[in-house]
Amino acid sequence: MSQKNLQTQSGQQVQAEQQVQQQQLLPQQVLLVRLTEMPVEALRQRVEQECMENPWLEVSASHDPSEGGEKQLDEVNDGEGGDLFSPSLEGSGEADASYDYRSEEDMPDYLTGPSHSNDAAEYVSYDDTLSLTDRLREQMADFELTDHEKELMEYLIGSLDEDGLLKKSLAVLADEAAIYQGLNTSVAELEHVLGILQQFDPPGIGARSLQECLLLQVRRNPKFPYREKFITLLSKYFDDFIHKRWQLLAHKLKVTVRDTELMQKEVLRLNPRPGGSIGSKTGDRAVSIQPDFLVDTDEDGTVTVTLSRGNQPSLIISPDAEGAQDTFVRQYVERGQMFINALQQRSETMMRTMQAIVKLQKRFFQTGYETALRPMKLEDVAQATGYDISTISRVSNSKYVETSFGTYPLKWFFLHRATRNDDGDDVTARQVKAVLRRLIEGEDKREPLSDEQLTQLLRGEGFSIARRTTSKYREQMGFPVARMRK
């Protein structure tokens, strides 16, 4: 047989296989795909639309809006979850082609929603029409500031990131103020105005590092348990604190094991991102994103996941349709029952996926420390749940989880391994960046560290990293080269 005939037969065979795959995708699965992709607000609108189009689909009379629209489903622990229905929705033809996302990079946001960086968490405010910038400006009236100090205060407020932290050094800010704003100032003058800004609410605002952020919060609260011990801990033993060397800290602070356990619980009261709960820094829009999940952490470290139902009511088939023989009625009843079943399957899929994410990133949900995040890919969650990767992608896309530490897009928890430390453990880029930031912020500003020196220091702390990677991370965090940091 000629090669041309073989190619023709091969093409016909592929086409036939594709047609078979398209036939295997059931309407129930197509509906489930679309509902799973939707965030909670879009889902609510879809439910309303379905109820309007289907005369035999009704809201359950037992549904009580005062219950808050939330349903407690399960508690995350070290055990394995039960076996739930796990539809395979991978590559099932044209009907599913636009929904099959195989990696984090391929995940689109729902419809035309804005994309979110994996480099920083997005904190979302609810029913808050004032931005972080607006709220801080309001508080300027509570302090006696000269006109020049007001200009500097406006400049510092405008330099804060979305979390209310000041990531650039005062030396850089002083130079940029002169170059870009025509505002002549000095590091000492900015230090003075920053000290006033750090008296604003919420406590921790204007901090230049995690260490300073936590110290500001403890110092502002005279009733904070173990206040003096915490100030000593954060001032002198911050590295031990970050690495959770609590036995060593107990010895250094001269406290009992019981006191140490209580201090660990008090840590959870501190907020590493004080500006995150106030709103959008830009103030050009009021952000109102409803979380799809709620994650609570008890004092003993137990993490509980709740699936937010939003304003979605419980649906039932109208009792009037019971026993109906009319073909028209039966078609609507079948359609309504399929919709109800798809909603139930969506809830199961959503919960099981979120539970797996929380289990894989449990240290973060217990502490709130970004450095506690471990490398995690779609494949890891798929393996933990038994779902296909494309299903995990749909659940993770454009969904948010509210925690005690802020509200995050689910995509934020997916991290690639950047390197390994000396112990052979996987290390994420965020962990490397956290150490890199500490090194740069703690350097002698008269002799800033070069990228090669920073690389050697990182290697000294156990991170096997190349100089070009150090340069890339430094640029991503907004730090200029060494000669510009003087």
% pLDDT > 90, the chain: 15
Distance CA 334, CA 239 (A): 61
How high is the pLDDT of residue 90? 37
Q: Greater confidence, 341 or 22? A: 341
For residues 394-401, average pLDDT: 88
For residues 332-340, average pLDDT: 92
**pLDDT reading at 121 higher than 70:** no
CB neighbourhood size of 421 (10 A): 14
How high is the pLDDT of residue 190? 92
Distance CA 238, CA 243 (A): 9
Contact (Cβ atoms closer than 8 angstroms) between residue 356 and residue 79 = no
Q: Give the CA diameter of the chain.
A: 93
Q: Greater confidence, 216 or 81? A: 216
Contact (Cβ atoms closer than 8 angstroms) between residue 335 and residue 285 = no
Q: Would you mind telling me the total number of residues written for the chain in this entry?
A: 486
Residues 34-54 pLDDT 10s:
899 888 888 888 888 898 888
Strand pairing partners for 421? 463
Distance CA 269, CA 388 (A): 38
Q: What are the helix (H) ranges across 62-141? A: 94-97, 132-139
Range name among 22-31, 170-179, 431-440 with the lowest pLDDT average: 22-31
Range name among 43-52, 56-65, 458-467 with the lowest pLDDT average: 56-65
349, amino acid identity: T
Range name among 38-47, 72-81, 126-135 with the lowest pLDDT average: 72-81
Distance CA 368, CA 295 (A): 12
Distance CA 394, CA 377 (A): 14
SS3 for 21?
Answer: helix
Residue ranges of E strands in 189-340: 293-297, 303-308, 315-317
**pLDDT reading at 204 higher than 70:** yes
For residues 360-386, average pLDDT: 86
If pLDDT is split at 50, 70 and 90, which confidence band does 62 have? low
**pLDDT reading at 198 higher than 70:** yes
Contact (Cβ atoms closer than 8 angstroms) between residue 389 and residue 382 = yes
If pLDDT is split at 50, 70 and 90, which confidence band does 420 have? low
8-state DSSP, 30: H
Contact (Cβ atoms closer than 8 angstroms) between residue 76 and residue 303 = yes
Residues 337-372 pLDDT 10s:
999 999 999 999 999 999 999 999 998 888 887 777
Token pair 């995040």 is at which residue? 373
For residues 205-221, average pLDDT: 90
For residues 372-379, average pLDDT: 84
Residues 235-275 pLDDT 10s:
898 888 888 888 888 889 998 878 887 888 788 778 888 88
- For 417-484, CATH number out of 3.40.190.10, 1.25.40.390, 3.40.630.30, 1.10.10.60 equals 1.10.10.60
